[in-house]
Amino acid sequence: MIQATGLTSNRRRGLPPAVDDVSFEARAGRVTALLGRTDAGTSVVVRLMLELQPGRGVTYFRGRPLHRIAHPAREVGVLLGEVPGHPGRSVRGQLRMLCAAAGVPVSRADEVLEVVGLVSLRHERLGRLSRGMDRRLGLACALLADPHTLVLDSPADAVSAREGGWMHAMLRAHAEQGGTVLFTTGDAKEAARVADHVVTIEQGKLVADQETADFARTRLRPRVAVRSPHAARLGVLLTKEARAGKRSLEVVREDGNRLSVYGSNCADVGETAFRHGVLLHQLADESGDSGPPKPSTGRALSSGLSSGSGSAELASRPEPSTRPSPASPPSPPSPASPPSPASPSGTASPQETHLERSADVSRGGDAVEAINQPPTPGPTSTSALGRVRRLVGVTTQAPRKELPLLPPPITARPARSPLRPLRYEVRRAAGIRTGYVTALLVVAVSTVMALYLARAGHAPLPRLLAAWPYELPLAPAAMGAGLLGALSFGDEFRHPALAADRGSVPRRLGLLVAKLVVCAGTAVLLAVATVLIDGLVLHVVYGEEVTRLPVDWPDMAASWLALSVACSWAGLLAAGVFRSTTAGLAALLAVPVVLVPVVEKLLAEPSARSAAGLPGRLRDVTLVQWPAKGDRFIAGLVHMIAQPVGGALVLSLAALLCAYLLTGLRSRAR
């Protein structure tokens, strides 16, 4: 069950808010339609409900706001816009990745694929899906964690009639199983055909909250649908006869050879066509939409050919019975369906609604629960007003306190990190071909450069195996590791599968650690593969003399792996800070180009002190007796950091990590 109360967007400069004090209720086991045109504010209402946009108001999903639900994806399934996935990822890979993010078994991906009918397309790339298949995949993503509530923004927009019918049948099936379904639409006929309850929004305000039968009776206009090759002539004839008979009639020319006649019936239209010899291909009674809202003019409708007419305003105006008078006495609620302050069609007066909302602001969810309870017999519980007065401490004898007039603020909250971040990151990185293609290119370029350096005969063995000429700032393998690290966060921001409606990617420590681990493992594999393949090719082409390993090869290998991992982390952190793959790669290149000369200049200056004997002093300070090889390891680590490239990478990683943590703390403070 969804209870939305006082949803109001922030005011825009010089303009009224896009949504102003919208309150409604969507019950479990029913399909509720949020009806409104493109600029009516229905999408803003959905974003306010899901706390994706700042504003005011409160929305309860089965009695809890979204930010108090431990696992929101298991309570609310969301479909907003297109599926934000990498176009090169497969359908099944996308769902398996989201399974790790939602904390559900990976077998759930195959289950929802069978439910939405995408089993035959499970290996298809997201970039090749049609609009209808993309809608099916979006519904599969919403159903992945088996949520109780579905919130969908125009789920059947721009799809074929067949796909739209399938989508509506799926929503109906979910509601029949006891779930809550809320979807937005701009088509009044679709809302009347699919939904059990229709909430109409115009210009950001609630104008009707009705059952489907009342909505069809008061908001939809009956019309006669006519299709004829002489549609223009028939429209003129109908207009002339209506003027001659002083009847109210509206004829609207649709696309092609179709007319919509309002204020008449099939018999009259058919007789007119028969008398004048007009051929008809279709003649049927239908229900048209309510038309654009028009101001009340108080004048009768005049017949004509214009598409905008006063009949739209007269027909779209709800009857007085659909909006209860504030003065009418409230009906006693039943225990099965207690009244809610979020329902605008309830029987509470405006004063009672205001006090209930104020009590919700001052007391939180406890006040709402107490208000929703049915009244107990007694002289002090005759109305919701009395219950709210007892809650906030207002009595008839004491002077009334000043209550807050505004609903509680809505804070736009970032997306949550995956429940299994390491598994999510592995599936994210392995689910697209970019990483594999990058690794193959790096190995190929490194092999060619190693052969060229060996042929020239001027490179030492470490640079020969790494294919690292003096003219390049970094080796190809280090550059490739940095590029893969930058893609780790760059693709996350470009295709934010974790954030609803392309929101902000979560800056959580768990997700960062998972990315660091996966990037480090990828860099190590790439560095080892590059050296092994380069050495094998050099051995085959030039013989054993070129690839003979020196005595200190373990130190060389450790330095090479540390360089690759550091480059990968530098690209990852830079892309996470600047939210771009290009920025991550640029920050990586800035290390040898900008920072290395600075570090070389600092190290070239004479030093008055020496760090000799550092391992022994560390052993004395930490009071830990490590093996003798530990001193050698620490000395090697200090030696690597003392190198210009190593020192520059350490400084860069420290600065980027601090910047990432600061931006993460700032986003949490918001």
Q: What is the pLDDT of residue 654?
A: 83
Q: Kindly report the number of other CB atoms within 10 A of residue 346's CB atom.
A: 21
Report d(CA 168, CA 153) in Å as an integer: 13
DSSP string, 184-219: EES-HHHHHHH-SEEEEEETTEEEEEEEHHHHHHHT
Q: What is the pLDDT of residue 616?
A: 62
Same-domain pairing of 291 and 225: yes
**Residue 522 domain-assigned?**
yes
Same-domain pairing of 536 and 662: yes
**Residue 152 domain-assigned?**
no
Residue 493: what are its φ and ψ, rounded to 5°? -80, -30
Report d(CA 444, CA 590) in Å as an integer: 25
CA 445 to chain centroid, in Å, comes to: 39
Q: What is the pLDDT of residue 231?
A: 92
Please, what's the b/e burial string for 297-317 (b: 16 or more CB within 10 A of its CB; e: otherwise)?
eeeebebeeeeebbbbbbbbb
For residue 611, pLDDT over 70 is answered with no
Structure tokens at 444: 């190929």
Same-domain pairing of 346 and 473: no
- For 224-280, the pLDDT digits (tens) are 999 999 999 999 999 999 999 888 888 988 877 899 898 889 999 999 999 999 999
- For 159-168, the pLDDT digits (tens) are 999 999 999 9
Q: What is the pLDDT of residue 641?
A: 56
**Residue 60 domain-assigned?**
no
% of the chain residues with pLDDT over 70: 73
For residue 331, pLDDT over 50 is answered with no
For residues 80, 82, 88, 90, the Cα torsion angle rounded to the nearest 10 degrees is 70
Q: What is the pLDDT of residue 398?
A: 44
Q: Are 375 and 387 within 8 A, CB to CB?
A: yes
Nearest to 368 by CA among 376, 380, 360: 360
- For 107-158, the pLDDT digits (tens) are 999 999 999 999 999 999 999 999 999 999 999 999 999 999 999 999 998 8
Last residue of a domain, one of 317, 337, 356: 317
Last residue of a domain, one of 144, 163, 182: 144
User: 13-27, 256-270, 354-368, 497-511 — which is least confidently predicted?
Assistant: 354-368
Q: What is the pLDDT of residue 549?
A: 78
Q: What is the pLDDT of residue 460?
A: 85
Q: Are 410 and 53 within 8 A, CB to CB?
A: yes
Same-domain pairing of 522 and 564: yes
Nearest to 235 by CA among 304, 309, 308: 304
Q: What is the pLDDT of residue 411?
A: 86
Same-domain pairing of 439 and 388: no
Same-domain pairing of 496 and 628: yes
pLDDT class for 407, splitting at 50, 70, 90? Answer: confident
Report d(CA 118, CA 122) in Å as an integer: 6
Q: Are 638 and 632 within 8 A, CB to CB?
A: no
User: 147-151, 228-232, 509-513, 602-606 — which is least confidently predicted?
Assistant: 602-606
Structure tokens at 329: 């006495």
State the chain's mean pLDDT as an integer: 78
Q: Which residue blocks in 117-199 are alpha helix, DSSP H?
A: 131-143, 161-176, 188-194
Same-domain pairing of 312 and 379: no
Same-domain pairing of 234 and 133: no
Same-domain pairing of 259 and 339: no
**Residue 162 domain-assigned?**
no
pLDDT class for 497, splitting at 50, 70, 90? Answer: confident
CA 102 to chain centroid, in Å, comes to: 14
Strands 31-35, 197-202: parallel, antiparallel or unpaired by DSSP?
parallel
Q: Select the more confidently predicted residue: 403 or 637.
A: 637
**Residue 108 domain-assigned?**
yes
300-309, 324-333, 472-481, range with greatest mean pLDDT: 472-481
C-alpha angle 219-301-187 in degrees, rounded to nearest 5:
25
Beta bridge partners of 409: 56
Spatial strand order in the sheet of 258-262: 250-253, 258-262, 221-227, 282-288
For residue 88, pLDDT over 70 is answered with yes
Q: Are 16 and 165 within 8 A, CB to CB?
A: no
Which CATH number fits the domain that encloses residue 301?
Answer: 3.30.70
Q: Kindly report the number of other CB atoms within 10 A of residue 151's CB atom.
A: 26
Q: What is the pLDDT of residue 372?
A: 40
Q: What is the pLDDT of residue 655?
A: 84
Q: What is the pLDDT of residue 473?
A: 81
Q: What is the pLDDT of residue 339?
A: 39
- For 412-432, the pLDDT digits (tens) are 877 778 889 999 999 999 999
352-361, 451-460, 645-654, range with greatest mean pLDDT: 451-460
Mean per-residue pLDDT, 432-453: 94
**Residue 211 domain-assigned?**
no
The domain tally of the chain equals 4
C-alpha angle 576-411-389 in degrees, rounded to nearest 5:
165
Structure tokens at 545: 């003399």
**Residue 322 domain-assigned?**
no
Same-domain pairing of 342 and 387: yes
Q: Select the more confidently predicted residue: 385 or 3.
A: 3
Nearest to 184 by CA among 69, 24, 10, 55: 24
Q: What is the pLDDT of residue 12?
A: 79
Same-domain pairing of 313 and 441: no
C-alpha angle 169-170-173 in degrees, rounded to nearest 5:
85
Q: What is the pLDDT of residue 584?
A: 87
pLDDT class for 650, splitting at 50, 70, 90? Answer: confident
Nearest to 578 by CA among 494, 481, 668: 494
Q: Are 500 and 415 within 8 A, CB to CB?
A: yes
Same-domain pairing of 397 and 465: no
Q: Select the more confidently predicted residue: 265 or 640.
A: 265
Report d(CA 532, CA 221) in Å as an integer: 76
Q: What is the pLDDT of residue 458?
A: 73
Mean per-residue pLDDT, 346-368: 38
For residues 209, 214, 215, 218, the Cα torsion angle rounded to the nearest 10 degrees is -110
Report d(CA 153, CA 500) in Å as an integer: 12
What does pTM read for this prediction? 0.71
Domain enclosing residue 366, as ranges = 329-410
Last residue of a domain, one of 410, 445, 468: 410
**Three-class SS state of 480:** helix
**Three-class SS state of 30:** coil
Query: Taking the CA of residue 199 as centre, how many other CA atoms within 13 Å lie in the half-sphere pointing to its CB?
Result: 29
78-87, 96-105, 387-396, 400-409, range with greatest mean pLDDT: 96-105
**Residue 436 domain-assigned?**
yes
- Give how far Cα 25 sits from Cα of 148, 198, 540, Å: 15, 10, 75
Q: What is the pLDDT of residue 90?
A: 95
Nearest to 644 by CA among 598, 605, 606: 598
Report d(CA 217, CA 222) in Å as an integer: 9
